[in-house]
Structure 1
Amino acid sequence: MEREAVDRRPVWLWGAAFFVGMFGAGLMARALQFGTVASMAVMVPPMLLLIPFRRATERAQGACGSLSPATRRYNRRAMAWSFAYMVLLFVAIAGAKAGANGALLWLLAVLPALPILYLLWAMARYLVEETDEYLRMRVVTAALWATGLLLGLATLWGFLETFRLVPHVAGWAAIPVWAIGLGLGSAFVRWRER
């Protein structure tokens, strides 16, 4: 039991560093009114924290016997979509600010969604590739928690927005909320198993 706590500590530290880094960099870029290129540069270091975060996660999964080949493949696919999302989001923003219009603007608007579609495929692929039913069920349970959180928050916010009590939130905010819910759901599943 003590070994598990020691092995998971770096996961929480790297996860917290990534979370604080991303929000901190975003808030700093907005507060200091950085341009597109400067905003991109500020967001790169927190994104690089995903690399040690993934490694620490895999070490912790290996230490408790829950690191399967399917999990390794999913983790690498998740890294790919994360970095692709960041790059394509900044390409889209830069293109729109440069004055793109017509069909090019439509293409730029769709670009950041493509890695999200890849993420959905990667998750479905994981569920097909994972041969361990217990590990598969843990991921499904975490995903259900994430979906419940997203649906609950979206419903609550939607009613508050309808009555003009809160500002409008763009639909793309769903994926970060769901991802946070997935992390919280995974933590809850691990906590419940103790």
Structure 2
Amino acid sequence: MPEKMTKIGTGFSGRQPGLWAAAFALAMCAIAFAEHRGLLGGWRSLPFVAAATLFLFPLTKAANNRQAAAGALSPATRRYNRRMLIWSLGYVLCLGIAMTVRNYLHPQGALLWGIAVLPSVPMIFFVWTLARYVVEEEDEYLRYRQTSAALIGLALVLLAGTLWGFLETFGVAPHVPAWWVVPVWAIGLGLGQMIMTSAERRAGRT
């Protein structure tokens, strides 16, 4: 039985988290490009966004396997990965509901305010997940590693937001919606984790 479980857990879908992350990023970029060209937009984009979100399942599984192989999959890390997956699915669901209601019911007043806020509601769970990991993680190095990666993501948001804000103020760049803050932070988090992993490998060779 253990051999069978190991085989299932380390199959194709349970390996190469970078591959699944790249597939998800490329899918989202393709959707954004299609929206820019007018091929998609509004509710028409939702099935494609939902399909791209499916990449998060093998991504989470592969990340767990990679961390387990490195001896870094603590119970707190496993819970963190699962909660991040729940947050991502909740965000897509709330976004889909909000856009569907807007496009088909054309709400006004309080209902319009409600659906405009709805996609932001999962952010409460997202922030709680980050804070809860710091509380639950008993391994000091793993906590330091995750915190450092999160700070790198924050640095990218601050730099990109400030730079683009001034470019937009001086009229040399188009307006970018503020909800792009979270995707930019997530990219920075991934880069931070890659930087930490690279540093660990260099330290292991010395």
TM-score (norm 1): 0.91
Could you say what the CA RMSD is over the residues aligned between the two structures, in angstroms? Answer: 1.6
The answer as to 2:204 corresponding to 1:159 is no
Q: Which amino acid aligns with 1:95?
A: V
Deviation at 1:96, TM superposition (A): 2.1
Residues 22-43 of structure 1 deviation map (CA, whole Å, 9 limit, x = unaligned): 2213323553533644321112
Q: Which amino acid aligns with 2:147?
A: V
The answer as to 2:130 corresponding to 1:127 is no
Q: 2:109 aligns with which of 84, 102, 109?
A: 102
The answer as to 2:191 corresponding to 1:190 is no
Q: Which residue of 1 aligns with 2:37?
A: 31
Contact 2:95 2:119 in 1 (8 A): yes
Q: What is the rounded CA distance, in whole Å, between the counterparts of 1:193 and 1:35 in structure 2?
A: 43
Check 1:44–1:107 CA distance in 2 against 1; reply closer, same or farther (3 A cut): same
Q: 1:40 aligns with which of 41, 46, 51?
A: 46
TM-score (norm 2): 0.86
Contact 1:11 1:57 in 2 (8 A): yes
Contact 2:43 2:99 in 1 (8 A): no
Check 1:178–1:35 CA distance in 2 against 1; reply closer, same or farther (3 A cut): closer
Q: What is the rounded CA distance, in whole Å, between the counterparts of 2:98 and 2:133 in structure 1?
A: 29
Q: Secondary structure at the match of 1:112?
A: helix
Contact 1:96 1:108 in 2 (8 A): yes
Residues 34-65 of structure 1 deviation map (CA, whole Å, 9 limit, x = unaligned): 36443211122211010001111100000000
Q: What is the rounded CA distance, in whole Å, between the counterparts of 2:82 and 2:196 in structure 1?
A: 22
**Counterparts of residues 11-160 of structure 1 (less than 5 Å):** 11-31=17-37, 33-34=39-40, 36-98=42-104, 99-160=106-167
The number of aligned residues is 187
Check 1:148–1:43 CA distance in 2 against 1; reply closer, same or farther (3 A cut): same
Contact 1:36 1:90 in 2 (8 A): no
